């Protein structure tokens, strides 16, 4: 009998077909977002789950599903998973790093540029039929080239954004991170380490790429926003909750910073109503990794992880990108 797995959201048909070679798959072709109770019920009897950022895997889910052996996230971020609880239950967790780095960095850069150059705001103006004449200060924004790019969180995606800024746009790049990068990595990214306060005070364009955790909750709130330049922009492609959305909406409305670009929100898909009411913010629905090729690579990697984690395929027992490898049995 094949082990049973749940694929929590609708994914590419051939990914499901590949999983069916090894597993008895319950999929979700209607792409329903399960309530917590429904998710727990559907996981019943399953040994593995192909999850996305929308499913929370915590103690309640694990305790109700003792057969579960593997949680394979189709995302690099895994704040939806209580990894410590999974480890305590002997459940391996995996994510999808690397395959989305460049795509996500492209999007972060695009969002930053859209905010700085007021692309969405001016497009809305045009669509409303308000464009009657050219004027010298119409939608003037801030330059990207030659400006100071500040990056909060300097993992793979932060480094990819730094490279774009330093090598593509001649920007001065500064970053703040829990730990400083090695000198050779800093040099390759063209980035210099600074304290958080210097980052806030010196950045013309601040990009947030730090993973969400209780430690990064509201890392950018009213006290941080007040330190930024009134001409600065802020872009968040990390997670909702890293930025205090209410404080940001207030800062934008009061023009205490110039503009923002947000792909992630506290409580998404609900967006704070104050943000919806301010013009100087570009809002996108969590699509930074959304290219056809990258979503395919993410799904393939999540499937590879699930297949290997449950003991099948060429790297049986050795999922390629585990988050808690300590639960895996050592190989002989």
Q: Would you name the residues annotated as active-site residues? A: 239, 268, 286
Instruction: Tally the C-alpha atoms within 13 A of residue 2's C-alpha that lie toward its C-beta.
Output: 14
Handedness of CA 153, 154, 160, 164 (dihedral sign): positive
- How far apart CA 67 and CA 57 sit, in angstroms, is 14
Angular region, 191: left φ>0, alpha ψ -120 to 50, beta rest? beta
Please say which residue, 77 or 90, places its beta carbon nearer to ligand 8YV.
77
Nearer to ligand 8YV, 75 or 203 (CB): 75
Question: Taking the complex as a whole, how short is the minimal distance between the CB of residue 74 and ligand 8YV, in angstroms?
Answer: 5
Give me the least distance between CB of 36 and ligand 8YV, in Å please: 17
Nearer to ligand 8YV, 298 or 307 (CB): 298
Stretch that binds ligand 8YV, among 73-81, 122-130, 131-139, 189-197 (CB under 6 A): 73-81
Residues 22, 25: Cα–Cα separation, whole Å? 9
Q: Does residue 158 bind ligand 8YV (CB under 6 A)?
A: no
Size, binding site for ligand 8YV by CB under 6 A: 8
Which range, of 75-83, 118-126, 143-151, 310-318, touches ligand 8YV by CB under 6 A?
75-83
Stretch of 59-67, 70-78, 158-166, 183-191 lying at the interface with ligand 8YV (CB under 6 A): 70-78
55 vs 204 by CB, closer to ligand 8YV: 55
Subset of residues 7 to 66 that bind ligand 8YV, contact rule: CB under 6 A: 52-53
Q: Which residue has the tokens 């919806």?
A: 276
Cα–Cα distance, 282 to 205 (Å, whole number)? 14
Helix 156-163 with 101-116: angle, nearest 10 deg: 60
Smaller CB separation from ligand 8YV, 77 or 317: 77
Considering only 100, 110, 243, 262, the residue that binds ligand 8YV (CB under 6 A) is: 100
CB of 313 to ligand 8YV, least distance (A): 22
Looking only at the bridges linking them, the beta strands covering 70-73 and 92-94 are parallel
Angle, helix 101-116 to helix 119-127, in steps of 10 degrees:
60
Tokens of 112: 């930053």
74 contacts ligand 8YV (rule: CB under 6 A): yes
Among 216, 235, 289, 324, binds ligand 8YV (CB under 6 A): 289
- 149 phi and psi, to 5 degrees? -95, 125
Strand runs labelled E in the chain: 4-7, 24-26, 48-51, 70-73, 92-94, 148-152, 172-176, 191-193, 205-208, 233-236, 259-262, 281-283
The binding track of 235-274 with respect to ligand 8YV, each residue x by CB under 6 A or -, is ----------------------------------------
Order of all β-strands in the sheet with 148-152 = 191-193, 172-176, 148-152, 205-208, 233-236, 259-262, 281-283
Q: Does 68 bind ligand 8YV (CB under 6 A)?
A: no
- Between 75 and 174, name the residue whose CB sits nearer to ligand 8YV: 75
Applying CB under 6 A, the residues found at the interface with ligand 8YV are 52-53, 74-77, 100, 289
């Amino acid at each position: 009998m094949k082990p049973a797995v749940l694929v929590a959201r609708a994914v590419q048909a051939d990914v499901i077909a590949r999983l069916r070679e090894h597993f008895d798959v319950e999929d979700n072709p209607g792409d329903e977002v399960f309530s917590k109770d429904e998710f727990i019920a559907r996981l019943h009897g399953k040994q593995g789950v192909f999850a996305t950022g929308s499913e929370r895997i915590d103690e309640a889910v694990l305790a109700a599903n003792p057969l579960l052996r593997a949680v394979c996230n189709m995302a690099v971020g895994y704040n939806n998973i209580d990894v410590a609880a999974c480890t305590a239950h002997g459940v391996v967790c995996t994510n999808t790093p690397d395959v989305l780095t460049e795509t996500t960095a492209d999007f972060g850069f695009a969002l930053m540029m859209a905010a700085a150059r007021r692309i969405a705001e001016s497009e809305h103006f045009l669509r409303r039929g308000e464009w009657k004449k050219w004027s010298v200060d119409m939608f003037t924004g801030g330059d990207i080239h030659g400006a100071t790019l500040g990056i909060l969180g300097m993992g793979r995606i932060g480094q990819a954004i730094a490279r774009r800024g330093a090598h593509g746009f001649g920007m001065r790049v500064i970053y703040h991170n829990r730990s400083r990068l090695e000198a050779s990595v800093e040099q390759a990214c063209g980035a210099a380490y600074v304290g958080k306060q210097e980052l806030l005070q010196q950045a013309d364009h601040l990009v947030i790429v730090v993973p969400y955790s209780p430690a990064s909750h509201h890392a950018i709130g009213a006290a941080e926003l007040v330190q930024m330049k009134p001409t600065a922009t802020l872009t968040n492609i990390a997670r909702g909750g890293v930025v205090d959305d209410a404080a940001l909406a207030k800062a934008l409305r009061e023009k205490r910073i110039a503009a923002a670009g947000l792909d992630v929100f506290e409580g998404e898909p609900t967006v704070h109503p104050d943000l919806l009411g301010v013009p100087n913010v570009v809002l996108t629905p969590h699509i930074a990794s959304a290219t056809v090729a990258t979503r395919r690579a993410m799904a393939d990697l999540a499937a590879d992880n699930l297949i290997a984690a449950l003991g099948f395929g060429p790297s049986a027992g050795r999922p390629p990108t585990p988050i808690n490898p300590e639960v895996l049995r050592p190989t002989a």
